[in-house]
Amino acid sequence: MLSSSGIKEKTQEVLKPFAENIGNLGISPNTVTLTGFIFSALSGILLGTGNFFHGTVFLALSGACDVLDGVLARTMRKTTRFGAFLDSFLDRYADFFPLAGLLYFGHTIGNELLLLGSLFSIAGAFATSYARARAESLGADCKSGIVERPERVLLLLGGLILGYPAETTLILAVLSNVTAVQRLFCASERLR
């Protein structure tokens, strides 16, 4: 996981000067979060119509906003509980839109692998985030698992760039659902 590898912290440190410049322009962290949400929706629409180049660009921009909003909030000392909630809330839609676009495109062209891979990737992404949130609401920390949102976005970006959307969604479906099951076992151990 990127969050436990130190890469996340290094990336945030590199983005700190950029975040300061954005903050000096008066742009709030929530504005960056909403912008990422819009980019994700555009990505889904474009991927759904088969425009993989622009869909991938907007997916990358959405991922960049997802990293930047937190850095901006911490750098400008504008972290709020609502901002954290909004970020997590809109991340679920940001997970959904590109995969839904690929699901629709798979249906349109009759590619069952792309359709099923996208469908089970959506299920795995939602189950992974729900397992963590529900476990935390019951007092357990279950951040375990092999792929969180940053890894899912990077994997999907890589597959789209290389031209293997169906294969990538199948890999993503397996890894996302394995992560959800890992969190289920984590919760089982910590909530007994």
Q: Is the dihedral of CA 134, 135, 138, 141 positive or negative?
A: negative
**pLDDT tens digits, 123-179:** 999 999 999 999 999 988 888 889 999 999 999 999 999 999 999 999 999 999 999
The stretch 77-83 carries a mean pLDDT of: 87
pTM: 0.89
CATH number for 2-186: choose from 3.30.300.30, 1.20.1300.10, 1.20.120.1760, 1.10.287.110: 1.20.120.1760
Query: What's the pLDDT score for residue 45?
Result: 98
Beta carbons of 155 and 175 less than 8 angstroms apart: yes
Count the neighbouring beta carbons within 10 Å of the beta carbon of residue 123: 15
Query: What's the pLDDT score for residue 124?
Result: 96
Angle, CA of 179, 98 and 105, to the nearest 5°: 115
Catalytic residue among 87, 91, 95, 141: 91
Domain residue spans in the chain? 2-186
Whether 91 is catalytic is yes
Count the neighbouring beta carbons within 10 Å of the beta carbon of residue 98: 34
Question: Distance of CA 59 to CAs 28, 43, 130, Å?
Answer: 21, 5, 22
**pLDDT tens digits, 84-127:** 899 999 999 999 999 999 999 999 999 999 999 999 999 999 99
Q: What span, in angstroms and rounded, lies between the C-alpha atoms of 16 and 136?
A: 29
Six-digit token string for 91: 């991340």
